[in-house]
Amino acid sequence: MIVSKFGGSSVADSVQIKKVKAILESSERRTIVVVSAPGKRNKDDEKITDLLYQCNKDVQKGLSCKETFKKIQSRYIEIAVDLGIDTKDLIDQLDSVRRLIDAGYGADYAASRGEYLSAYLISKYLGWEFLDSAELIVINSDNTANPVSYENLRSRIEDGKKYVIPGFYGRDERSNVKTFSRGGSDITGSIVARAVAAELYENWTDVSGVYSANPTIVNNAKPIAYLSYQEVRELAEVGASVFHEEAIAPVVEVGIPINVKNTNRPDDPGTIISSESNGSGVSGISAKGGLSMIRLRRLMLFKKSGMRHALLTMLHIFGIRPCYSLFGIDSIVWYFESKMASDSVCDSMCERVKDEYNLDSVAVTRGYAIMALVGPDMNKSTEYIDALIALKEAGIEVATINYGASETSTLIAIREEDKDEAVRVVYKRLFG
């Protein structure tokens, strides 16, 4: 059995949905499909999910979402007509959704309706059974799937039948509709794959796998044939956007492989993600900007027990949660997303932390990016040296480097304005 998830670009219009049907019908093993809400048809288009969030914002302002919802209704009706689906029931569904959004059912309910309506339409088109995720998947307060979700799915899915399931949402412990984070349809697909013990989880998108670098930055970047689960998590954490990092967890625990494939080029092999890696050396490079650096100094900083925990707790009070860290005998460097704290908040944090813990200095510097070199046994690799030489030759300053802490990645901090060029020069040095 194969579980196939199709992203927003794959179900953006009737042309794409016809491709989905052809893919599903090309193998009898593809018996369960998880779908996203329709994405953009072109660069100037709007995602259905964004329009639904706007509907909820209209309601929060005391307005009706009727005008915004007209765009959503028109989009779904157009798809239905093009696919030869009777629109009467669809219009009833759309009217019900709009009324409930107007009634104040909230952001999660509103956002989830894109996937709900997409799955409803596609189930009608395929003639497959529709299963509502809100009846099956229970999402904990920490945004993870409650184990009861697997039992719920297994109890509803029968051998020999074919199913369409909306991605992105489930319900909370009080039976209210609850969404995963954006891109969460990947998570739904992974949960379903684990529940049914799928032989393979396919993730269909608009690119032919996970690339060795962002192809919009590096023109000759190529898809990676094989990646380990951990390598994908590392790439996703630092900017790669093909596969939702949180979707790894449900399948990795039971060893179900993932195949990232291209709906528009279904014969391309894509990328296989499993417990096995690509071999040796750097598999891929990714980079993430929008970061700030906190540098704290005090003589013999770590001689005082519990100091690191106490400092982290203080940062959390100010809403700052570091995502990368480096430690020295007398210093700590933390990186965090700049949007977490304004300049005034950072100034207040620095003053309080310095005074309360008697530090020699505390400073926040804006405008950093983290570039990751990802591959198996990176803690034993010396390719980071070639990367550093390439950056030096290009005149790109390296702020910090975290080497050896992870078996699968080396992290290099650079100025944000150098991010794309850094990826290009390092890629050229390592991949030719």
The reported pLDDT for the residue numbered 30 is 97
Low-confidence ranges of the chain (pLDDT < 70): 241-243, 245, 278-279, 404
- CA 107, 233, 213, 287 torsion: positive or negative? positive
**pLDDT tens by residue, 276-293:** 876 678 989 999 999 999
Are 168 and 297 contained in the same domain? Answer: no
Are 301 and 388 contained in the same domain? Answer: yes
Are 73 and 171 contained in the same domain? Answer: yes
The reported pLDDT for the residue numbered 378 is 83
Write out the residue range of the structural domain in which residue 193 sits: 2-206
The b-or-e profile of 188-221 (16+ CB within 10 A means b, else e) is bbbbbbbbbebebbbbbbbbbbbbbbbeebbeeb
Given a contact cutoff of 8 angstroms between Cβ atoms, the answer to whether 34 and 165 are in contact is yes
Per DSSP, the three-state class of 227 is: strand
Are 163 and 300 contained in the same domain? Answer: no
Q: Of 191, 206, 221, which residue sits at a domain end? A: 206
Q: Of 186, 206, 226, which residue sits at a domain end? A: 206
**Residue corresponding to tokens 């570091």:** 322
In a domain, 254, yes or no: no
Are 196 and 297 contained in the same domain? Answer: no
Q: Of 180, 206, 232, which residue sits at a domain end? A: 206
Are 78 and 194 contained in the same domain? Answer: yes
The reported pLDDT for the residue numbered 239 is 73
The reported pLDDT for the residue numbered 52 is 96
**pLDDT tens by residue, 218-252:** 999 999 999 999 888 888 888 776 667 678 889 99
Quote the number of domains for the chain.
Answer: 2
CA-to-CA separations, 238 to 6, 290, 294, 398, in angstroms, rounded = 23, 11, 19, 17
In a domain, 68, yes or no: yes
Q: Residue 189 sits in a domain of what CATH number? A: 3.40.1160.10
In a domain, 189, yes or no: yes
- Could you tell me which of 199, 34, 40 has the C-alpha nearest to residue 119? 34
Q: Residue 401 sits in a domain of what CATH number? A: 3.30.2130.10
The reported pLDDT for the residue numbered 278 is 67
Beta strands in 128-230, from DSSP E residues, in sequence order: 129-130, 163-166, 169-171, 177-179, 200-205, 226-228
The reported pLDDT for the residue numbered 74 is 96
Given a contact cutoff of 8 angstroms between Cβ atoms, the answer to whether 311 and 332 are in contact is yes
In a domain, 292, yes or no: yes
Whole-number Å distance between alpha carbons of 102 and 52? 11
The reported pLDDT for the residue numbered 58 is 95
Beta strands in 235-360, from DSSP E residues, in sequence order: 258-262, 271-274, 284-297, 324-327, 331-337
What's the N-to-C CA distance of the chain in angstroms? 40
Q: What percent of the chain has pLDDT over 70?
A: 98
Per DSSP, the three-state class of 247 is: helix
Helix (H) or strand (E) holding 412, with range, is strand 409-415
